[in-house]
Structure 1
Amino acid sequence: MTLLHGYWRSSAAYRLRIALNLKGIAYDQLSVNLKDGRQREAAHKALHPQGFVPVLNIDGEQLIQSPAILEYLEETRPEPALLPGSAAERSRLRAYAAVIGCDIHPVQNLRILQYLRKELGQDADAVTAWCQRWISDGLAALEKMAQADDRGGPYLWGGAPTMADVYLVPQMYNARRFGVEMDAFATIVAADAAARAHPAFEAARPENQPDAPEDGH
């Protein structure tokens, strides 16, 4: 049995749901409620020493860290390819993923925002401004990369979903959530819209998960 330990609004878990769906891997989900602090409990830390989600149980293995898990899925289930093309093209795709996974997402995830509120005493407006600043900076770079590569769409890397879209869609979800102005990002906005229309992405949408609250918060 493939089991995903995650949370409905976790960007990292969202990535894995998309990839699992694209590759046709059936899985069950176990919710780890981040708002209630379940990720910090001993039982979960026994699975993930950092107290993060996701954790994926698959093929008798217990895997952590979404970038590493996504690479595992690509190596063990190479079709459909999320990292297609030449070595140089795969490097470019990994760079798209890294802009989001290394430079945007970490500074606006829950533990950072909680620290800003609780330890540094920042109010809601300041926290929102923080998120908007770093998301906007990262998306501006991603937009320039997409324009320079000019893959022709409709997805971020051409005619089929790739690892770039797996990372893009959850980050665009967060950008909308924090009210980021999108007018300057026409290329990635179009790619995000195309990907969200794909059944694998729709099924992975946070609001479609079994642990999503009815009020959406």
Structure 2
Amino acid sequence: MSKIVLYGFDGSTYVRTVRMLLAEKAASYELVPVNVLKGEPREPAHLARHPFGKVPVLDHDGFRVLETSAIAAYLDEVLPGPSFTPDNPKDRARMRMAMSFIDSYGYGALIGVAGFHLFPDFIGGQNEEAKQQAIATSRRVLAELMKLRGGDAHIAGARPSLADLYLAPICFYVGLTSDAEEVFAVDGFAPWWERMQAMPSYQATAPQLG
């Protein structure tokens, strides 16, 4: 039996993305905790795994994969179970565009909103002006993602893709804040969010808060 070891922090949205995928694939794995809030990714043991001190890191039968996009694509390809990569070029392009939007523009903004309320020390304190800018950028990103989705149930088609697994864990944290209603007031977002929250893999991977 192949062995999967995932290094990461239970509270990391990117680690949850990978954990959701593993749950969807019904794959067994070992989660080795690396606490981001305690600075553990910057310690020598983890820097030996990831030179830039990031999580997650994946080891699969002696093969190491870094960066969530590469980890998710690799696992989706090598593990049995439902595919989370669309089967046609246009929908694959939609998925990849969405993942790039999230990585490049969405993550920092959405986590900026969540962090203002939930972990201000981690993001450098509470700055109201910065929060308002983050809300505006978050709404813009979500609007573009919903435009990509169009009339489909999910971002890149009728079925969930890696793009959906990217976005949902980040929205989880925003959803815990008093700014969620404003951030999420984007055409098309509500039905997508309801579908994602209903997924068993989403429910099974909720971080342990507190």
For normalisation by structure 1, the TM-score amounts to: 0.79
Question: Does the aligned pair in 2 maintain the 1:99–1:142 contact within 8 Å?
Answer: no
Tell me the residue number matched to 2:15. Answer: 13
Letter of the 2:193 counterpart: D
Residue 130, structure 1, aligned to residue 142, structure 2: no
Question: Does the aligned pair in 1 maintain the 2:46–2:53 contact within 8 Å?
Answer: yes
C-alpha distance in 2, partners of 1:172/1:183? Answer: 9
RMSD (Å), alpha carbons: 2.5
C-alpha distance in 2, partners of 1:149/1:156? Answer: 4
Tell me the residue number matched to 2:185. Answer: 184
Which of these residues, 76, 97, 111, is aligned with residue 95 of structure 1? 97
Deviations along 1:170-211, one digit per CA (max 9) or x if unpaired, are: 1211322453423522422321221121111111221xxxxx
C-alpha distance in 2, partners of 1:200/1:115? Answer: 27
Q: Identity of aligned pairs, percent?
A: 26
C-alpha distance in 1, partners of 2:17/2:86? Answer: 18
Tell me the residue number matched to 2:174. Answer: 175
Tell me the residue number matched to 1:199. Answer: 200
| Structure 1 unmatched ranges of 5 or more | 118-122, 207-211
The alignment partner of 2:32 has SS state of strand
Letter of the 2:105 counterpart: D
Tell me the residue number matched to 1:55. Answer: 57
The alpha carbon displacement at 1:148 in A equals: 5.5
C-alpha distance in 2, partners of 1:14/1:131? Answer: 24
Relative to structure 1, is the Cα distance of residues 144 and 51 closer, same or farther in structure 2, using a 3 angstrom cutoff?
closer
C-alpha distance in 1, partners of 2:86/2:104? Answer: 21
Relative to structure 1, is the Cα distance of residues 116 and 168 closer, same or farther in structure 2, using a 3 angstrom cutoff?
closer
- Name the count of aligned residue pairs: 199
For normalisation by structure 2, the TM-score amounts to: 0.82
